[in-house]
């Protein structure tokens, strides 16, 4: 299939002041678009993978020919991760639903979860992602380097945070912890619940 950039499910300025319009515009139209373009370029001529979307490609990296595997891992990961990320962001969605109960049960409080997740995100060296995954009924915080996807190691994400500098540098410069704090103001808990139900 020809992979395409999914439209943002909101306006570029919708997450202001937590995530600024210019960052959202560049991140979506330049960074994400480039992952899509490079994934298509890598897969060009490989008709055997035409039926697979990016998530399926990442779940089956061992089936991808070696000469394009790294490109699929990086750019397919970039496409999949960002497609997952955009709908997770929305202002003014209260913490609630089944996932909130599970978070309270496992982490003790939202505050404790926020602290654990934020520490993992802040301490992640270099570029990568911080995730909350659900596997066999258990929530887990994990990180991946670069654009690696939890799907490639058999994990199912319900929440993810892009901690590449391109996600925050224009507004927050080197202050990654401030960006992480802002992220918690724009988590779309309804979407996290959707992922939680599907994964459970
Ligand atoms: Mn990004």
As beta bridge partners, residue 141 has 132
CA of 124 to the centre of ligand 1 (A): 15
- Give 52-83 pLDDT, tens digit per residue: 999 999 999 999 999 999 999 999 999 999 99
CA of 168 to the centre of ligand 1 (A): 9
CA of 197 to the centre of ligand 1 (A): 26
CA of 108 to the centre of ligand 1 (A): 30
As beta bridge partners, residue 138 has 135
CA of 136 to the centre of ligand 1 (A): 28
Does the pLDDT of residue 179 top 90, yes or no?
yes
Distance (Å) of CA 94 to CA 6, 88, 97: 26, 13, 9
CA of 105 to the centre of ligand 1 (A): 31
CA of 71 to the centre of ligand 1 (A): 16
Rg (C-alpha) for the chain, rounded Å, is: 17
- Give 105-133 pLDDT, tens digit per residue: 999 999 999 999 999 999 999 999 999 99
Please state whether 6 falls in left (phi above 0), alpha (psi between -120 and 50) or beta. Answer: beta
Q: Which two tokens stand for residue 4?
A: 């395409």
Q: Which two tokens stand for residue 102?
A: 């599970």
CA of 70 to the centre of ligand 1 (A): 18
Which uninterrupted H or E stretch holds 120? helix 110-123
Q: Which two tokens stand for residue 153?
A: 């190691």
Where does the chain show beta strands of DSSP type E?
Answer: 128-135, 138-145, 157-162
Question: Which structural domains are found in the chain, ordered by start?
Answer: 21-88 (1.10.287.990), 98-199 (3.55.40.20)
pTM across the whole model: 0.97
Q: What contacts 1, CB < 8 A, 6 or more positions away?
A: 50, 51, 52, 53
CA of 74 to the centre of ligand 1 (A): 12
- Name the average pLDDT for the chain: 97
CA of 119 to the centre of ligand 1 (A): 19
CA angle 84/86/90 to nearest 5° reads: 125
CA–CA distance, 38 with 15 (Å, rounded to integer): 28
């Amino acid at each position: 299939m020809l992979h395409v950039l999914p439209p943002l499910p909101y306006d570029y300025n919708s997450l202001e002041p937590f995530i600024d319009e210019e960052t959202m515009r560049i991140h979506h139209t330049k960074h994400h678009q480039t992952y899509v373009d490079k994934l298509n370029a890598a897969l060009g001529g490989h008709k055997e993978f035409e039926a697979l979307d990016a998530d399926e490609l990442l779940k089956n990296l061992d089936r991808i020919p070696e000469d394009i595997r790294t490109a699929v891992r990086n750019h397919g990961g970039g496409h999949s991760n960002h497609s997952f990320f955009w709908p997770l962001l929305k202002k003014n969605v209260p913490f609630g639903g089944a996932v909130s109960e599970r978070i309270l049960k496992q982490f003790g409080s939202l505050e404790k979860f926020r602290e654990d997740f934020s520490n993992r995100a802040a301490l992640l060296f270099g570029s990568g992602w911080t995730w909350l995954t659900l596997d066999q009924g258990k929530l887990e915080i994990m990180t991946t380097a670069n654009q690696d996807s939890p799907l490639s190691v058999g994990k199912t994400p319900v929440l993810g945070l892009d901690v590449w500098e391109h996600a925050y540098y224009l507004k927050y410069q080197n202050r990654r912890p401030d960006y992480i704090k802002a992220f918690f103001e724009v988590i779309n808990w309804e979407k996290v619940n959707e992922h939680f139900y599907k994964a459970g």
